[in-house]
Amino acid sequence: MVRIIPVASSIRPSLSTLRFAGASRLGFPFASFTPSRRLACFQLASAVPRSPSFGLKASKLLRGDGKTAGVAAAGNAAQASTTASPENVLEWVKQDKRRMLHVVYRVGDLDRTIKFYTECLGMKLLRKRDIPEERYTNAFLGYGPEDSHFVIELTYNYGVDKYDIGTAFGHFGIAVEDVAKTVELIKAKGGKVTREPGPVKGGKTVIAFIEDPDGYKFELLERGPTPEPLCQVMLRVGDLDRSITFYEKAFGMELLRKRDNPEYKYTIAMMGYGPEDKSAVLELTYNYGVTEYDKGNAYAQIAIGTDDVYKTAEAVKLSGGKITREPGPLPGLNTKITACLDPDGWKSVFVDNVDFLKELDSLSRFLVLILLLLARRRPFQGLAVCGWAYLQGDEYGCVWYGRLLSFLGLGFDEK
């Protein structure tokens, strides 16, 4: 059963707004240190944090313009000596350690969406970051830590309260143990149900469809306990066989199943890196005779982990995909990424696995440093930071603070 965890975003201050007493005496300029800004540079959605018409700095970051192109070119040059033959590259893709990391899309009211996802869908707010200089805010939500679960990244652009979802995007899938109870909860919270619970046409699986406040559709699938409740992203394509071949060769995905429904004139293909009941999958849908769709400007992309962004980009090119950001490190960071389009124009960003984990760990390591400095002299202040860390979903900071107090033999009495 998906747990319902109400979360009030108003009690989650940005780390950039925290001020630590005694920081100047310790010689650390914590008041001006903003790790959220560093994490923002590594925004897997930063290739398109805004709609294409905005074209602000974050979107330039991953397009390969100016200095960024130089960085990417330098990275490519460094990899040139190890470039494998086309056959070896495509064979390597099958062995690469890949995982769907998160899906990115834009919303018109971030707090409203967070409230709906946490109260109605049982998600947890994993982290939230505001980048005022570029006028956008991100929120990551899901059913578990980002290093082991497929999660959602929401993007709110200041002053933009509505987007066009288009006709190409289909829905997200969430596995629950009781669809009927989940639907009743959603109705009680004022959510919109577009298909009442019942067996899928031509099958036995109980499903229902709902819409979030921005109009994104979610399919609720009745299943037993699963390690990956956020289990599907459905996209429509104009040539299913072409798409299957591309995702197998370029992305290293496996065709898990394919089902044709001539009565309703559509065919679906499930693609992924593991079984449907244990991992997130990509559902490709072909509607008979429809070769083009309107993508709108709401849905952005999927981020996928890889051991080598350079070989990944080569495989995409060999498979007929288009590279929109050449492989290489992000400016000011060592995080390596590459971005591409599939034959239908759907965007994906590949991120180096090791770099991704390092970036996720950076906030935890910063908190450990803060807690270490506070534990000796001001345990209550350290406890406050610990509480903030917990509310941000950073359980590591809490664990380390407890260990530090135990190691130093300290209680919680203010000295």
Lateral strand order in the sheet of 254-261 = 192-199, 206-211, 217-222, 169-176, 230-236, 281-287, 266-272, 254-261
pTM exceeds 0.75, yes or no: no
Sign of the dihedral through C-alpha 376, 381, 387, 392: negative
User: What is the model's pLDDT at position 32?
Assistant: 36
User: What is the model's pLDDT at position 85?
Assistant: 82
Query: Is residue 136 pLDDT above 90, yes or no?
Result: yes
Supply φ then ψ for residue 381, to 5 degrees: -65, -40
| Active site (catalytic) residues | 219
User: What is the model's pLDDT at position 373?
Assistant: 59
Task: Give the model confidence (pLDDT) of 306-342 as tens digits.
Answer: 999 999 999 999 999 999 999 999 887 788 999 999 9
Query: Is residue 410 pLDDT above 50, yes or no?
Result: no
Query: Is residue 170 pLDDT above 60, yes or no?
Result: yes
DSSP state of 343: T
User: What is the model's pLDDT at position 381?
Assistant: 61
User: What is the model's pLDDT at position 22?
Assistant: 36
Check if the beta carbon of residue 125 is closer than 8 Å to that of residue 9: yes
Q: How far apart are CA 22 and CA 30, in angstroms?
A: 10
Query: Is residue 169 pLDDT above 50, yes or no?
Result: yes
Supply φ then ψ for residue 236, to 5 degrees: -95, 140
Task: Give the model confidence (pLDDT) of 231-283 as tens digits.
Answer: 999 999 999 999 999 999 999 999 999 999 999 999 999 999 999 999 999 99
Query: Is residue 191 pLDDT above 50, yes or no?
Result: yes
228 is annotated as contributing to ligand binding: no
User: What is the model's pLDDT at position 38?
Assistant: 41
Task: Give the model confidence (pLDDT) of 56-93 as tens digits.
Answer: 333 333 333 333 334 344 444 444 434 568 889 999 99
User: What is the model's pLDDT at position 375?
Assistant: 56
153 is annotated as contributing to ligand binding: yes
Residue of 389, 401, 400, 399 lying closest to 126 (CA atoms): 389
Higher pLDDT, 210 or 13: 210
> What is the Cα 90 distance to its own chain's centre?
26
Measured N-to-C along each axis, helices 66-79 and 309-318 cross at an angle, to the nearest 10 degrees, of 90
Q: How far apart are CA 196 and CA 187, in angstroms?
A: 11
Domains of the chain in sequence order: 41-352 (3.10.180.10)
Amino acid at 359: E
Q: How far apart are CA 51 and CA 134, in angstroms?
A: 13
How many helices (H) and strands (E) the chain has is answered by 12, 16
Amino acid at 377: R
User: What is the model's pLDDT at position 206?
Assistant: 97
User: Distance of CA 307 to CAs 89, 93, 304, 346, Å?
Assistant: 13, 10, 10, 22
149 is annotated as contributing to ligand binding: no
Higher pLDDT, 385 or 191: 191
Residue of 282, 260, 280 lying closest to 271 (CA atoms): 282
Amino acid at 310: Y
The overall average pLDDT reported for the chain is 79
User: What is the model's pLDDT at position 215?
Assistant: 97
